[in-house]
Structure formats: C-alpha cells, structure tokens
C-alpha cells in the first residue's frame, strides 16, 4: 500500500503519448486507472476521469480541482494522505517534546536527590563531629575532676571566713 503511495510521489520528467493513451483508456474507475502499468496515472475524483501526471509531485496536480484525486490506492485520496502525513509529523514533534520534558524532569530530580544526599551526609558528619567533641569534653572534665579529688581541690570547699 505504501509502495503505491510512494510511486505517486516520484517525479515525472516527461509524458509520452502512450502514457496519455494508457491513462485515458483506463478511465472507467479508480482501480483500473491506478493499476495501469505503463504510465503514472491518477484518478481525479471530481470529474471521474483518469489522467497522467504532467509534472512535479502528487501535490502539484492542477488539472483536478483541489486535492480530491487518488494516487497509488483508491481508498485514500491525496487530501487524506496529506492530513495523515501532517498528523504523523505533529505526533512525532509532540512525542519529542514529551521525551525532552521527561528527560529534563528526571535530570532535575536526580540532581535534587544528589544535593539532598550531600546535605544529609554533611549534617550526619556535623552531628558525628559534635558527638565526638562532647565525648572528648566529658573525658577532659572527668580527668580534671579526678585530679582535683586527688589533690583535695574539690570545688565545694569554701574558706571559713566567708561562711560567717
């Protein structure tokens, strides 16, 4: 099916007399017109005739009013083919945009997660440093208290003169 449509997209450089005869002889209906082997014919739906391409591509036919002619397959006229091609192009563009958005969002989430992980590591290391500092402070206090007890320098002895 696609091969027939692509056949209609081929540029036609010159039109022979036999091609015109072949197309006009098969002017009964769309199927016989398009199935002509020696010529590149199209079936004009407005005046129900079989004609030969004179120049250009399937979108440059001017002898048939509008885009209501068939090339390659009778079920789809050129207008429908043009609309389907446009829809496919739009769908591909929308898909590309969605894909780009998804990739961008995923990258942002990953970078935020990495930043959050770094913050958590930093906060964990900060808490660990505080804990070690508190442990060392407690050890120092214990040592100084032991030294004070050893030499009788407890902090609760007050001079007798200051009591009265």
pLDDT class of 14 with cuts at 50, 70, 90: very low
Please tell me the distance from the alpha carbon of residue 135 to that of residue 68, in angstroms, as a whole number: 89
pLDDT of residue 3: 45
Please tell me the distance from the alpha carbon of residue 159 to that of residue 164, in angstroms, as a whole number: 10
Instruction: For residue 140, give both structure tokens.
Output: 């120092």
Q: Which of 17-21, 26-30, 35-39 has the highest mean pLDDT?
A: 26-30
DSSP class per residue in 51-76? EE--SS-GGG--SSSTT-EESS-SSS
Lowest mean pLDDT: which of 45-54, 77-86, 99-108, 150-159? Answer: 150-159
| Bridge partner residues of 43 (DSSP) | 50, 70
43-to-1, 27, 36, 106 alpha-carbon distances in Å: 16, 8, 11, 52
Lowest mean pLDDT: which of 19-23, 64-68, 145-149, 159-163? Answer: 159-163
Please tell me the distance from the alpha carbon of residue 55 to that of residue 10, in angstroms, as a whole number: 10
Residues 145-164: pLDDT tens digits? 999 998 888 765 555 544 54
Candidates 81, 43, 39, 37; CA nearest to 59 is 81
Q: Would the pLDDT of 103 be above 50?
A: yes
Q: Which of 6-20, 78-92, 104-118, 128-142 has the highest mean pLDDT?
A: 128-142
At 51, is the secondary structure helix, strand, or coil? strand
Residues 113-125: pLDDT tens digits? 777 788 888 889 9
pTM: 0.48
Average pLDDT (85-102) is 93
pLDDT of residue 48: 82
Beta strands in 4-118 (DSSP E): 41-44, 49-52, 69-70
């Amino acid at each position: 099916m696609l091969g027939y449509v692509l056949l209609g997209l081929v540029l036609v450089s010159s039109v022979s007399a036999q091609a015109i005869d072949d197309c006009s002889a098969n002017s009964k209906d769309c199927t016989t017109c398009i199935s002509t082997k020696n010529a590149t014919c199209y079936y004009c739906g407005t005046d129900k005739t079989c004609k030969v391409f004179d120049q250009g591509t399937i979108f440059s036919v001017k002898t048939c009013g509008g885009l209501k002619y068939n090339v390659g397959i009778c079920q789809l006229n050129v207008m429908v083919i043009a609309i389907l091609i446009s829809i496919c192009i739009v769908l591909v563009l929308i898909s590309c945009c969605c894909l780009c958005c998804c990739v961008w969002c995923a990258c942002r989430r990953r970078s935020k997660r990495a930043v959050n992980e770094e913050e958590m590591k930093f906060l964990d290391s900060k808490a660990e440093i505080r804990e070690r500092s508190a442990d060392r402070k407690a050890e120092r206090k214990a040592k100084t208290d032991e030294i004070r007890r050893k030499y009788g320098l407890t902090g609760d002895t007050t001079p007798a003169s200051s009591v009265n």
